Amino acid sequence: MPKVSHIRGEKELQLNEQTLSMRLERVAAHVPAGARLADIGSDHGYLPVALMRRGAIVAAVAGEVALTPFRSAERTVRESGQDLRVTVRLANGLAAIEPEDGITAISICGMGGETIRDILDSGKARLSGQERLILQPNGGEQPLRQWLMENDYRILFEELLQENRFYYEIIVAERTGPVAYTAEQLYFGPLQMQARSPAFLVKWQRILRHKQQTLTHFAHARQAVPEEKVQDIARQALWITELLG
């Protein structure tokens, strides 16, 4: 079995240097043409290399905090012949960005929303405020949207896609000045609430069932569950019910 996954891993390496996964393909679609991209947590460096090969961007920085993916990204960039225009840096979060890079777009994909929020918050000094943020959180979207709102970033585009049984959200934002979202908008996504795509509705139907099961479990629990926790989940269940209504 391990041999099969190893072979599949090699195939993915070859495939993804040319053709991105559906998730990264959708992220790529939101990188402005001619951008100077910083891909933070770049992993194998597939996204900047693919965009550079397509002539979609003019320069890129691939930032990685861990040594193994950093070396993978270095190898991808070197083997693609893009090492003059894609710089791979071993750095924590936005510390990978230098002022002379002139970054106009930042992508942060495939990690929890709270982690993305913390990366943006701890690296605030590296943000000029002119960059487009293309974020793909794996859960924790609500606290990430909260940070965007508190830091004057307007959400320009949101997308929900399903790939291999998982739901992925893409949030595109730019700093435009003060913006206000309601608690429900931060929870569901302001633009997703309006669009109500089929994937969005299916996702929230599933989450509602889970919330209802949790509330039933709480009601029958031997130990008392903190009232605040019960009310929080009950409120979310009510929001979802109203949304789907």
Domains and CATH numbers, the chain: 2-181 (3.40.50.150), 202-244 (no CATH)
- The Cα–Cα gap between 60 and 84 comes to 10
What pLDDT sits at residue 165? 84
CA 224 to chain centre: 36
For residue 199, count CB atoms less than 10 angstroms from its CB and return exposed for 0-12, middle for 13-18, buried for 19 or more. middle
Please give the single-letter amino acid code of residue 131: E
Q: Is the pLDDT of residue 230 over 70?
A: yes
Mean pLDDT of 36-48: 95
- The Cα–Cα gap between 177 and 232 comes to 30
Output the CA–CA distances (angstroms, integers) from residue 108 to 98, 115, 136, in the order listed.
17, 10, 6
First-residue to last-residue Cα distance in the chain: 46
For residue 167, count CB atoms less than 10 angstroms from its CB and return exposed for 0-12, middle for 13-18, buried for 19 or more. middle
pLDDT one-digit tens code per residue, 123-176: 999 999 999 999 999 999 999 999 999 999 999 999 999 888 888 999 999 999
Bridge partners of 136, per DSSP, are 109
Q: Is the pLDDT of residue 13 over 70?
A: no
Q: pTM of whole model > 0.75? A: yes
Please give the single-letter amino acid code of residue 208: L
The fraction of the chain above a pLDDT of 70, given in percent, is: 93
Q: Is the pLDDT of residue 7 over 90?
A: no
Using an 8 Å Cβ cutoff, are 52 and 60 in contact?
Answer: yes
Using an 8 Å Cβ cutoff, are 154 and 176 in contact?
Answer: yes
Using an 8 Å Cβ cutoff, are 26 and 161 in contact?
Answer: yes
Q: Is the pLDDT of residue 30 over 60?
A: yes
Q: Is the pLDDT of residue 1 over 80?
A: no
Looking at residue 103, the DSSP 8-state letter turns out to be -
Q: Map residue 74 onto helix, strand or coil.
A: helix
Of the ranges 78-87, 105-114, 213-222, which is most confident? 105-114
Strands (E), the chain: 35-40, 57-64, 86-90, 105-111, 132-137, 153-163, 166-175
For residue 55, count CB atoms less than 10 angstroms from its CB and return exposed for 0-12, middle for 13-18, buried for 19 or more. exposed
